[in-house]
Structure 1
């Protein structure tokens, strides 16, 4: 009995130690993002939110200064909000935190340069476009501060020089703000390796997709609303207004023709005097008018092209966003499923192995110990 009191605790210890081996942690085989990369992602996406607010605030402030009938400038303000926020969304919400920071930095620099150099937009305008330039400069200063805090001093100065040169080489030609990705060029400039495709661990990948879904659901209604406003703003000519204007013009033309027909001598003398006295002024007015009409025509043609493109994009924007979201979810789901299946197979294999060891410990160990004890008892009996 005393012998079994020593054997039972031994068997329990073996059994419990075997059970402890069954604790399996489902750690991801993928490389986690570094603390620096996680910090970079958080700072860049927080900056993107500030960017959206700053652009909307500046655009609304400028719109408040406009006359009611200034549809051209209102259209440009809507285009600024649409393309600035779409461009920053694509730049800031990428899988790679470093790519997000560099592309956001370049995009802000490009926008700042655009407003600083847009003399035509400021020329003889009642709108203080300096508000847009000041907002762009503030956003540029903010992201410079963020980069300065995230990079080492040497990397910061090298990256800043690259961003300024890249922004000048790929400057925005118009308010469409066509974005040129800069991350690979930055890697080459910095002498780095090929762009990393690491998405981090499973929780990090899920968090990334969650952020993208959240920002898409937040921006999509606003951008659709702005596009609808833009189309409505440039489609406000009513048939009734046009007919009224034509009737008024015809009535004025008929009255003037009647006056000319009834006063031929007076009109002849008046024409001669006007030719002598007003011709220089008329010539000057013609020159200025031609210049203004030419400028207005160019702006109107450019604006019509932008509006037409936005009208087409408005039709397909929801399907494009659904497709992009579906691709992100499919990629993440596939990553998660593969990871879970790999770990599940490992868990099954480990469980089978430990179960066999458990059976051996429970059933064969007592028999072996009993055999050994019986043999020792028999030897003692024989010796006695």
Structure 2
């Protein structure tokens, strides 16, 4: 049986562990922040506080999607650690200006940072951990998280190579075997697909709150319109002569409300279209990366099959040549036995008989 093995270098045990633990933590942190924010939204009445809570969900999850599922496990760990530290610092500074639910948000952010630090401490040597901690601290001083009320994260990838050279330069030589790469891609796409629908909902929710059209406001708006319609019907029944002026007033009051609703829904649809284009580009990029790996592996296997085939042919021809040589020798021996031994015996016995005479 011929066994074909492509030249794939698997991730080390620690690197694979770091990848899986970091991705699991991303999901854990996303769920924790979402649950906490949703719980606080149920008890919050101020518009600004609601906006901050929805943005908190968007900040954390959108950033973790970029940091936690990178190809290099240690870079994903470092970027995730850096981002969670940055989120914690940002909300600690923000809590000075706004006290609503600050202690709960700060506590959740602190738990998230402690969890990623524990993963780093348990899976890195003391030298690697201290070097990475220093890298994270210095990097977070170089930029601001909030950029026009949108989450902004600057990856420390450019500084990461220096960290590897100082601690563990061998870890960048492989991203894993094909099965490990495909598994990583699957985890990344699973998380992205779940998060896409949630972020669309949160962006719509944020847009409604910013325009004063959250769920409570929509209910009150509906009640207000119903009350105006009932008033209009009463006037139409009791004072028909006033109906024209009442209709004009009703029109002037209703049209701005529906214009605002139309603007809100148009903005939501626009956000949905932009999100879909973004995910289309992400999936296309990931699909191209997968096909590139697949084609590379296929070429490697084809090369190995050719090498094995050539070796098998050469070995077979060598055996055939050896068999032919052996057969030739045996045939030569048989010819010697058949031709020369009888003549030799005849010559020997004839000479012996002539000697006696």
TM-score range, shorter chain: 0.7 to 0.9
| Alpha-carbon offset, residue 369 of structure 1 | 3.0
| Matches of 2:92 and 2:142, distance apart in 1 | 16
Matched, 1:25 2:8: no
| Alpha-carbon offset, residue 76 of structure 1 | 2.0
Contact 1:32–1:200 (CA under 8 A) maintained in structure 2:
yes
| Residue aligning to 1:336 | 294
Matched, 1:44 2:18: no
| Matches of 2:170 and 2:326, distance apart in 1 | 62
* TM-score of the superposed pair, with normalisation by structure 2: 0.72
| Alpha-carbon offset, residue 190 of structure 1 | 6.4
| Residue aligning to 1:128 | 101
| Residue aligning to 1:231 | 207
Contact 1:158–1:190 (CA under 8 A) maintained in structure 2:
no
- Cα distance change of structure 1 residues 188 and 358 upon mapping to structure 2, 3 Å threshold: closer
Contact 2:6–2:304 (CA under 8 A) maintained in structure 1:
no
Matched, 1:375 2:332: yes
| Residue aligning to 1:117 | 93
| Residue aligning to 1:347 | 305
Contact 1:113–1:171 (CA under 8 A) maintained in structure 2:
no
- Deviation by residue 1:230-278 (Cα, 9 ceiling, x = unmatched): 2233342769969x99xxxxxxxxxxxxxxxxxxxxxxxxxxxxxxxxx
| Matches of 1:207 and 1:366, distance apart in 2 | 50
SS of residue in 1 equivalent to 2:150: coil
| Matches of 1:188 and 1:358, distance apart in 2 | 52
| Matches of 1:134 and 1:145, distance apart in 2 | 16
- Cα distance change of structure 1 residues 172 and 194 upon mapping to structure 2, 3 Å threshold: farther
Matched, 1:173 2:151: no
| Residue aligning to 1:321 | 279
| Matches of 1:337 and 1:190, distance apart in 2 | 29
Which structure has the higher relative contact order (CA within 8 Å, separation 6+)? 1
Contact 2:54–2:206 (CA under 8 A) maintained in structure 1:
yes
| Residue aligning to 2:121 | 148
Matched, 1:78 2:36: no
Contact 1:82–1:226 (CA under 8 A) maintained in structure 2:
yes
Alignment partner for residue 55 of structure 1, among 29, 33, 51? Answer: 33
Contact 1:231–1:311 (CA under 8 A) maintained in structure 2:
no
| Matches of 2:56 and 2:272, distance apart in 1 | 16
| Alpha-carbon offset, residue 313 of structure 1 | 4.6
My pick for the range that moved more, 166-175 or 100-109, is: 166-175
| Matches of 2:17 and 2:171, distance apart in 1 | 19
- Deviation by residue 1:153-204 (Cα, 9 ceiling, x = unmatched): 1221232233233224334236533111013224435654699474322112
Contact 2:6–2:300 (CA under 8 A) maintained in structure 1:
no
| Alpha-carbon offset, residue 34 of structure 1 | 1.9
- Cα distance change of structure 1 residues 355 and 100 upon mapping to structure 2, 3 Å threshold: same
| Alpha-carbon offset, residue 87 of structure 1 | 0.3
SS of residue in 1 equivalent to 2:43: coil
| Alpha-carbon offset, residue 328 of structure 1 | 1.4
| Alpha-carbon offset, residue 311 of structure 1 | 7.7
| Matches of 2:224 and 2:155, distance apart in 1 | 47
Contact 2:62–2:151 (CA under 8 A) maintained in structure 1:
no
What CA RMSD, in Å, does the superposition of the two structures yield over aligned residues? Answer: 3.2
| Matches of 1:195 and 1:323, distance apart in 2 | 29
- Cα distance change of structure 1 residues 309 and 161 upon mapping to structure 2, 3 Å threshold: farther
Structure 1 unaligned spans of 5+: 1-19, 246-307
| Alpha-carbon offset, residue 366 of structure 1 | 4.8
Alignment partner for residue 158 of structure 1, among 120, 127, 131? Answer: 131
| Alpha-carbon offset, residue 74 of structure 1 | 1.6
| Matches of 2:294 and 2:85, distance apart in 1 | 37
| Matches of 1:351 and 1:194, distance apart in 2 | 34
Contact 2:19–2:73 (CA under 8 A) maintained in structure 1:
yes
My pick for the range that moved more, 216-225 or 195-204, is: 195-204
| Matches of 2:210 and 2:281, distance apart in 1 | 30
Matched, 1:137 2:110: yes
